Structure 1
Amino acid sequence: MRRILLLPLVLACIEGCSCQEKPAQPSTAPDASTAQAQPPPLPVLPETTPQPPAIPEQAMRLHAQGRKQGEAGQFAEALKSFQQAREAAPSWPIPLYDIGLTYLHLEDDARALEVYEQLDTVVPHGLSDSKRILDSLRREKAGRVPPGTLREFLEVEQLKDPEEAHRRLEALTRKAPEFVPAWEALALSAEKLDEGERLVAKALSLEPDIDTRGQLLLRRASLLKRRREPEAARKQLQALIDDPNMPPRIVAEAREMLMAPEAPPP
C-alpha cells in the first residue's frame, strides 16, 4: 500500500534541486502496540513541475520544525510553523500539502478540503497522494462515503500486520462501498491473479481520481503480463503514455514497464 499518516521528517533539499517522485512504499506508524511512527517519505514534486530557484533557508527551517512538531503530535504548533513556512516561500507547495494534512489530524476536514483544492491549482499533477486525498474529501462532503472514512483509512494504511490491515480494508469497503482507496489498496496487494483483476475492475468502476486511475491501470498491465498477454499489456501501457492528462510519474512508470524485458516462461 502507499501513502501516509503522521507528518514525516523533512527531506533535505538544497537550492536548485529537482526532487523526483519516488515509488510509493508502505510506511510505518502507530498501531495498537506502537506509540511512535517512523516517518514516511516526504511528498515531492513531479519531475516536470518547475522547482523554485531557491527555497529560503528560513522556510526550510520552519518546515522542518513543523514536521518535528507534527511527528510529536503537536498539530496546532505544526500548523503555525507550516503556515509561516508558506509565507516565507509562497511558491513552494510542500508546506501547503502539510497544512492540509495537519488540518486532517485536527479533524477539520472542511479546511483540509479547501487547502487541497488550492494545492490542486498550484500543482495540477499533484504531490504524492494529494489527488487521492482531495477526491476522498470531496466524496465525504458529498455524502458518498461516511465522514471520517479517509482518516480511518490512513490509520489502517499504517498498520504493520498485513493480515490485520487486510481485514480492516475489507471492513472499510463494506462500510463505505464508494471509498476508492480501500479498493485500490486491496487491488495492489492481491496475490491471486483473478482476485487482483476483479479488484482493479471494481476500483476503476468507481471513477477514481486521475492519479489513482493511473496506478490501477499500471496494476492491470502488470496482471496482463502475469497472464502471458504481453500485447494486451503493451497496449495498456502505451495508452497511459499517450494520455495527456496522466500525471508524469504514472507515464514514467508506464515507460519503465514497457521497456522492461519479458520474464521467461515458467
Structure 2
Amino acid sequence: MTVAMARELMNSARYEEARQLLAGLLDEPATDRLRAVAHGMLGECDFGLGDAASAIEPTTTALRMCEDQDDRAGIRAYLENLVEMHRYLGQAEPAANAAERVAEVLAREGEQRRAAWRRRQAGIIRAGEPLNRVVVMLDGGVRCEVGDVPAASGVSVTFVFERDRITLAPASARTAEGERLGSAGQFAEAYEAFQQAARLDPYDPHAHYLSGLSLLHLRRYDEAIAEYETTERLAPGWFHCRTDLWLARELAAGALTPEQYELFYLLEHAPLPPHQKVQTALAALRATPRLAPLYLFHGQAMAALGRSPEASYRDGLDCAAEPDIRGRLLVALSTAVKSDEERRSLRAEAAAMTDGNLVASAMASVALRAA
C-alpha cells in the first residue's frame, strides 16, 4: 500500500512527499523485493527533484538487490535509470557502461534490435554525444541511428529527436500545463508556466522553445529572440527553432508585421481545410511575396487537393534565405519532381545541410539510402 501511495504521489510530481513515505518504509521490516523497489523509487524521486547525483546511490542499491534476487525486469529498469542519470550529469563513461549492460540484458531476452540500439548508444556516448540529433523509430518502437536504417525501401520509419539528456518529469508537467494554456489563447499565463518548467530543468530546450512562441504572440520580440537563442544553444535544431528565430528577428526589425505573422502561424498550426489553406496562403503571399515558408504551406495544401505543388516549392526555394526552411522546401520538392536525377540532387543537398532542419536532413538521408 505504501509503495502504491508513493507511486501516485510521484505520478503527480509530489516527489518530496513520496520520498518521506519510502524512507519510512525502509525503516521498517520488509521483504528484499519490496526494499529493492523502495530504493529504486527513492532514486526516481531524487532524479525528479533534479538531484541526479543523489539518485545514483539508491538506484545502484536497488540494482544490486535485484541482481541478488535474479529479478531481470528490475535489473533492466534500474540499469536504464542509471543510463539517464549519468547522461544527465554528463558522466559519459558510467553512462556508456550502463548502456552496454542494458544491451547484454536485452540480448539475453532475445530483443536483438533493442540491444543493438543500446550498444550503438554506448559508443556515441563515449565518443561525445551531440546535444541534439534526429534518430529513427522503426516498427515496434525500436530506435536506430539515421545511418543504420535498413536500405530496403518500404521500411516504415518515424523521425524523433534524441537529446543528450532526458527532460525531468516536473518540467514536462509544467510544460504540458503551459501548452494547455497556450491552446486556450492564454499566452501570458502559458509563458509563466514555461518559465517555471525552464527553472525546474535548466537543460530542457522545449520550455524555452515554447516560451519564444508565447512571446511572439505577446509581441515581445526581443525576449522571444533570447528564448530561441537559448533553445538553439541547448539543443541545436530543436523542432523549428531556427525558422522561428529568423521570424522573431524579422518581427523585431519591422520587416514583418504582427498581422503577417498571425497569418503565418495560422497556416502552420491551424487545422484548416486544404482549399481554405490555399486561399489563405495566396492572400498572405500577396502581402509578403518573399516569405519562403508561405510557399511551403501553399504547396502542401495544393498536394492535399491532389494538385501539383512543384511550382510553389520552387518559388519558395528562390527566396529561402533561412537554412531551416530551405531544407524543408528541398525535401518537399524532391517528392514532387519527376526526374530521378533532380530528386537525388535535391535530397543530397538537404542531407548535407548541418545548419538547416534536422528532420528534413534525416528524411533526405533515409530516402537516398532507400532509392
TM-score surpassing 0.5? Answer: yes
**1:22 to 1:142, Cα distance in 2 relative to 1, 3 A:** farther
Amino acid of the residue matched to residue 46 of structure 1?
F
1:34-76 per-position Cα deviation (integer Å, ceiling 9, x unaligned) = xxxxxxxxxx9733x4224xx3333233222222222333333
Which protein is bigger by CA-based radius of gyration?
2
SS at match of 2:242: helix
How far is 1:260 from its partner?
3.7
Amino acid of the residue matched to residue 247 of structure 2?
S
Of 105, 109, 115, which residue of structure 1 is paired with 2:217? 105
Q: Which structure has the highest strand share of the two?
A: 2
How far is 1:193 from its partner?
10
**Cα-Cα RMSD:** 3.2
How far is 1:94 from its partner?
0.6
Of 144, 165, 177, which residue of structure 2 is paired with 1:51? 165
Q: Could you tell me which residue of structure 1 aligns to residue 245 of structure 2?
A: 134
- 2-structure distance, mates of 1:108, 1:243: 31
- Greater RCO (Cα-Cα under 8 Å, separation 6 or more): 1
Size of the aligned set, in residue pairs, is 221
1:165-192 per-position Cα deviation (integer Å, ceiling 9, x unaligned) = 2111101001112222212211333349
What is the correspondence of 1:72-111 to structure 2 with a 5 Å cutoff?
A: 72-111=184-223
Q: Which structure has the highest helix share of the two?
A: 2
Identity value in percent? 24
Amino acid of the residue matched to residue 50 of structure 1?
D
SS at match of 1:46: strand
**Contact 1:180/1:203, CA 8 A, preserved across alignment:** yes
Q: Could you tell me which residue of structure 1 aligns to residue 180 of structure 2?
A: 68
**1:56 to 1:239, Cα distance in 2 relative to 1, 3 A:** closer
What is the correspondence of 1:202-221 to structure 2 with a 5 Å cutoff?
A: 202-221=315-334
Of 150, 159, 162, which residue of structure 1 is paired with 2:274? 162
Q: Could you tell me which residue of structure 1 aligns to residue 340 of structure 2?
A: 230
How far is 1:19 from its partner?
9.7
Structure 2, unmatched stretches of 5+, are: 1-79, 88-131, 138-158
- 1-structure distance, mates of 2:241, 2:188: 21
Structure 1, unmatched stretches of 5+, are: 1-13, 24-43, 262-266
- 1-structure distance, mates of 2:160, 2:220: 25
- 1-structure distance, mates of 2:316, 2:297: 9
- 2-structure distance, mates of 1:133, 1:185: 15
- 2-structure distance, mates of 1:241, 1:230: 16
- 1-structure distance, mates of 2:209, 2:259: 19
Of 258, 264, 283, which residue of structure 2 is paired with 1:153? 264
